[in-house]
Structures are given as structure tokens and as C-alpha cells.
Amino acid sequence: MSDPFAAVYEEIIHEHYKRPKYRRILDSLPYVENPSCGDRLRVSITLGSDGRIAEVAFDGSGCSISMSSADILAENIIGKTPDEARQYIETFLAVLRGELDVDKLDAFGDAVAFKGVARLPVRVKCAALAWRAALTRLDALEMPLTDTTS
Amino acid sequence: MRPQFVMHASVEENSSVAGALKGEFPLFDEQPELIYLDNAATAQKPLSVLDAERDFYLKSCANVHRAIHSIGEEATARYEEARRRMARFIGARPEETIFTHGTTESINLVARTYGETLGPGDEIILSVMEHHANMVPWQQLAERRGVALKFIPVSEEGELDMAEYGRLLSSKTRLVALTMISNVLGTINPVDSIVETAHAAGVPVLLDAAQAAPSMSLDVKALRADFVAFSGHKMYGPFGIGILYGTERMLDAMPPFMGGGDMISEVRLEGFSANELPYKFEAGTPAISQAVGMEAAADWLFGVGLDALGEYESALAGRFMEGIKGIPGIRILGSAARRAGIVAFTLEGAHAHDVAAYLDRYHIAVRAGHHCAHPLARRFGITSSARASFGTYNTCKDVDTAIRVLSRAGEAL
């Protein structure tokens, strides 16, 4: 662990894992799964009357990385428009894929804690799980909007 | 003189042998703190294996077979010598010893050749504890040919339900394909009686020896199996090389597997005729240097006392289980009477990935996940587990350190 912030990152992840703020029981949403480790979770996203994300929640089971990542995702996309959130999530996933420099995460609130994870291919899948689930939800939210134009 | 493991010696005595042998593995010079307990995934390589491969490239590198030039002849001689010695290592004849890229390819080879002769109404018996490598090729065959798969259940102790095996075996059974040692539970299966029962019903048997090859000497004639599959890299040899043993009777009756150079005796525009054994099943340029490295690994294993090593690894597993069973929240999977050096466990309230990451902080390498055996994990009602597996360089001290660190993991996670 050469990164001087490694211990801080670990603490951030641990805190979100042990005391999540956005975890609650959700019904009737499909799970997104990572079959290689059995992690599964689902994310619900609710828009407010201003068209911005008003509420995010998740439930599921998995390791500290996937669960804390879900909590941090929720914290970070509340208040964003679906388009902003999508762009934000895509950037985060691009960092995990190694396409963007990890320092991008410095502006990502507690998601900065995943800088170390970005170097561990197996854990990257765990960290990405909630964010992939959120993209799916955002797509689902868009559907009725495009339908109303017809 | 290289130290040797001793049968029935105390675990501490053999531990000092392991400690001395560790010096032959250059990786530990680079990583002196590493406690490597992921041997069931792959084993580290002794210097003699690395040297054998390097030596081939330095002195005899050429493609094998049909070369007129002398270096090509030399390469062919090295490759065929590797085959002869690997054949002797398992008590087989060279023409029954096919080089593949590993256990997975060996099993796929049988599924894609012998398997293609089967059809609706035929059945294959597997077990719930099979590695995906000995499950998915048969599921693919079932999809292609309409063959039915039957599974021997696994008890809470992690043992095969032999009574149910007897009931599954019928006049429809065309193959029994089973692992010799579970890569998750460490259970050593009673292959003698499995083969005997199958043969009494006229059914051939394929044994997945991926975990067995590094911890017990394989005598295919004593095993009386029709097929035996194993990999080089798990027995301290190179990656990308493995063996399929098959009886001449079975191999002769099977159509070729992959098509290409070497596996043919003659090719015309209208078609081809297959080469003789074992070349019939070796299409294309084989993994030549890896075969040479695998031979060196087998030499090394025999030199250190393979069967005594296996017994020692079982003793390390016993010491590990004894040490962790009292830790709050620890659940050990299976409790088979005969267990190899493999122990899978879960820690309540902590995901296996987090347990493995915690151990990694202390330079202890264990595997976490489903260990390529989803159905078995489901059988035990879990999605993942951590697994410690022991090898020739692991000492009692390694095991004791792992126990000590694990005893603190619960509160840290």
C-alpha cells in the first residue's frame, strides 16, 4: 500500500459499508448481479418535480466494496439531472476500466476511496455494480418521457 | 541432496522439509513475506521447471515432427521424451498420453469426440461437486446431442452419496465423469469403488485429476479409469499444458478432436485421414517447451516424495481447521474423512472477498469466490467462500500465521 491515503480510503469504504445511509428494502425491481462473487443489488431512482434526482436507494448483498459503492453512488447523484447523473456515472466507470486517470475521482466526493480499487480488476466489478444498476434505472426512467412525445 | 517428505512423519518434521524446499522457488526470493495458500488455483514453480523451459529455448528451439534439420529433430526428441516420462509418471503408455492445454481442454476433448457418439436416451453421471470444467462441457453436449445429465448429490459432510450413485447408474449410462478431489471441499473421493461399480455396469469413467496430480501419484492402470485429465500448472509446472490419458481402446474408437497439422496422416481436397495415436488428438504446434517444463515438474514432485507430500498437505489442512474452528462466525465447508490440503470456509457477517482482502494485507494469499463450482456453493447455501489450499513450500508457521490473522478478521471487518 504505497498510497499515503490508503488508510483513509479504507475508512471511508468501511464507514459506508457498516453504516449505509441509502440502504433500504426495495420491492419489485430486478437485481443486477455479479455472478463471479454472488454480489447482487438493485437501485431505485426517483425524480422530483423539477426533473432532478430526488431520491436514491439500494438493497442487496455483497462485499464491502460493492455495498459501500452503492451508498456513495446514491449520495453523489442526488440533485443531478438524469443526464448529469449518467455522465457522472460513465466517468466513474471509465476510471474503473482504466480509460481515465484515477485522479479524476478527486472531484467525486467519497468515491475517491475507490482509487485503489481501480487497480484491482476483480474488485473493479464489485465497485461498478451499483453504478451499472443505476444506468439501467436511468434508462428505464427515460422511457416514459420519450413515449409522451408520440 | 534434496530433502524429502516422509510418510507418517510428524507434521513438524515435514514442515522443516517444506521450509527447506521453499528455497527452490525463486518467487519467494522476490516476495519473502508471501504466504501462498492458493495452491489449488495454481502452484508456484521451482527453479528446475523454469530452467528446463529456458534450456529448451536456449538449446533446442524448433518446431516438432517432420523436421529434417537436426535442431528440429532435437526439439522432437525433447518433446517425445517429455511424453514418455509423463506416461511413466502415470503408469501409461506414450500413445495413450495426449498433451493438451490443460484439464479443461482434456475434458472438452472427450466431450467433443466420445460425446458426439451419444444421443437422446443416453445418460452421463456427474456430481454436484464438479468444477465447471467437468460440468459445462457436458451441459454443452446435452444441448447439442440431447444427452441427459445425472448428478450424484453431495452430503453436508461434503461426500458423494454413493447409494444414490448406485441408483443413478443404469443401462442408459454412457459415462461417469467425476473429480478425484473436490477443489472446494478437499474431499478425496472413493474413486476405486466408483470405477469398479461403473465398470461392473460396462460404463467408462473419466477422472478429473486436476487437484489429485499435485498430491498423489497417479497410476492409471491401478485406477482402471478410461480417461484421466490433469494440468501442468497445478503440479508446479508451466501454464498452458496438460494431459489427457485415455485407454487405447477408447481413443481408437473416438473421432479426432481439432483439425489441423499433425493430427492427419494424409490430406486430399476431398478429405483427410487421421493420424495414429497420440497425434490424432494433437492438432497444430503443441506446447513444446511447456511439455518439457511439465516433465521437469513431475520429476521434481517424485523427487520430494509425492505421496508423502499429499499426506503432509492433508495434515496442514487438519492443523488449519483445528485452529480456525473455534473462531466466532467461522464455518468450514465439509468434514470429509479423507481430505486433501484444501479448506473452504466462510466468516459470518463478512463477504469472502473482504476476508481474502484482509488476509492479503498480511501477505496471505487465499482465494475467494465460488471457486468455479457454482452448483456446489448453492448446495451449501452460500454465494462465495474463502479457500486456503496448501502446497509443498507451506510450513506449520504459515498455517499458524493464517489462523492468527483470521482470528482478528471478524472484528476488523
> What is the full DSSP assignment across B343-407?
EEEEETTB-HHHHHHHHHHTTEE-EEE-TT-HHHHHHTT-S-EEEEE--TT--HHHHHHHHHHHH
Residue B237 has pLDDT above 50, yes or no: yes
Residue A142 has pLDDT above 80, yes or no: no
Question: B174 to chain A nearest CA, in Å?
Answer: 32
Strands (E), B33-160: 35-36, 97-100, 123-127, 148-152
Q: CA-to-CA distance for B347 and B341, rounded, in angstroms?
A: 20
Task: Identify the architecture of domain B50-302 in CATH.
Answer: 3-Layer(aba) Sandwich (3.40)
Nearest residue of B to residue A125, measured between CA atoms: B353
Fold assignment, B11-32+305-412: Aspartate Aminotransferase, domain 1 (3.90.1150)
B275, B65 in Cβ contact below 8 A?
Answer: no
Per residue in A87-119, pLDDT tens? 999 999 999 999 999 999 999 999 999 998 888
Domains, chain A, in order of start with CATH, read 6-143 (3.90.1010.10)
Going by C-alpha positions, the residue among B136, B206, B149, B141 that lies closest to residue B176 is B206
Residue A1 has pLDDT above 50, yes or no: no
Nearest residue of B to residue A67, measured between CA atoms: B351
Q: CA-to-CA distance for B260 and B95, rounded, in angstroms?
A: 19
Instruction: Read off the pLDDT band of A148 (50, 70, 90).
Output: very low
In whole angstroms, how far apart are CA B105 and each of B58, B109, B240, B302? Answer: 29, 6, 10, 25
Per residue in B388-400, pLDDT tens? 999 999 999 999 9
b or e along B200-223 (b: 16 or more beta carbons within 10 Å of the residue's beta carbon)?
eeebbbbbbbbbbbbbbbbebeeb
A68, A109 in Cβ contact below 8 A?
Answer: no
Q: In what order do the strands lie in the sheet with B227-231?
A: B97-100, B242-246, B227-231, B205-208, B173-179, B123-127, B148-152
Q: A148 or B64: whose pLDDT is higher?
A: B64
Can you give the pTM of this predicted structure? Answer: 0.91
Q: What are phi and psi of B61, to 5 degrees?
A: -70, 110
Pairing of strands B271-274, B264-268: antiparallel
User: What pLDDT score does A27 carry?
Assistant: 82
Among this protein's residues, is B61 annotated catalytic? no
Task: Give one DSSP letter per residue of A19-78, joined into a string.
Answer: S-SSB----S-PPEEETTTTEEEEEEEEE-TTSSEEEEEEEEE--HHHHHHHHHHHHHHT
For residue B328, whether the previous peptide bond is cis, meaning omega lies within 30 degrees of 0, is no
Comma-separated ranges of CATH 3.40.640.10 domains in chain B: 50-302
User: What pLDDT score does B358 carry?
Assistant: 95
Instruction: Read off the pLDDT band of A6 (50, 70, 90).
Output: confident
User: What pLDDT score does A146 carry?
Assistant: 45
Per residue in B97-111, pLDDT tens? 999 999 999 999 999
Query: Residue B272: in which H helix or E strand, if any?
Result: strand B271-274
- Residues above pLDDT 90, as percent of chain B: 95
Instruction: Read off the pLDDT band of A3 (50, 70, 90).
Output: low
Question: A52 to chain B nearest CA, in Å?
Answer: 34
- Residues above pLDDT 70, as percent of chain B: 100
Q: How many CB atoms lie within 10 A of CB A146?
A: 8
Cell numbers 524446499 correspond to: B21
B86, B220 in Cβ contact below 8 A?
Answer: no
Identity of the residue numbered B262: D
- Residues above pLDDT 90, as percent of chain A: 69
User: What pLDDT score does A150 carry?
Assistant: 40
Complex ipTM tops 0.85: no
Comma-separated ranges of CATH 3.90.1150.10 domains in chain B: 11-32+305-412
The DSSP bridge partners found for residue B150 are B125
Average pLDDT estimate for A66-74: 96
User: What pLDDT score does A2 carry?
Assistant: 53
Residues found in chain B: 413
Q: B306 or B410: whose pLDDT is higher?
A: B306
B333, B346 in Cβ contact below 8 A?
Answer: yes
User: What pLDDT score does A144 carry?
Assistant: 55
Q: What are phi and psi of A140, to 5 degrees?
A: -65, -35
Cell numbers 498420453 correspond to: B97
B191, B225 in Cβ contact below 8 A?
Answer: yes
Residue B29 has pLDDT above 50, yes or no: yes
Q: CA-to-CA distance for B343 and B388, rounded, in angstroms?
A: 5
Question: B343 to chain A nearest CA, in Å?
Answer: 18
Closest residue to A64, CB basis, from B351, B382, B384: B351
Pick among B383, B385, B387, B411 to test the A interface (most A CBs inside 10 A): B383
Closest residue to B351, CB basis, from A1, A36, A63: A63
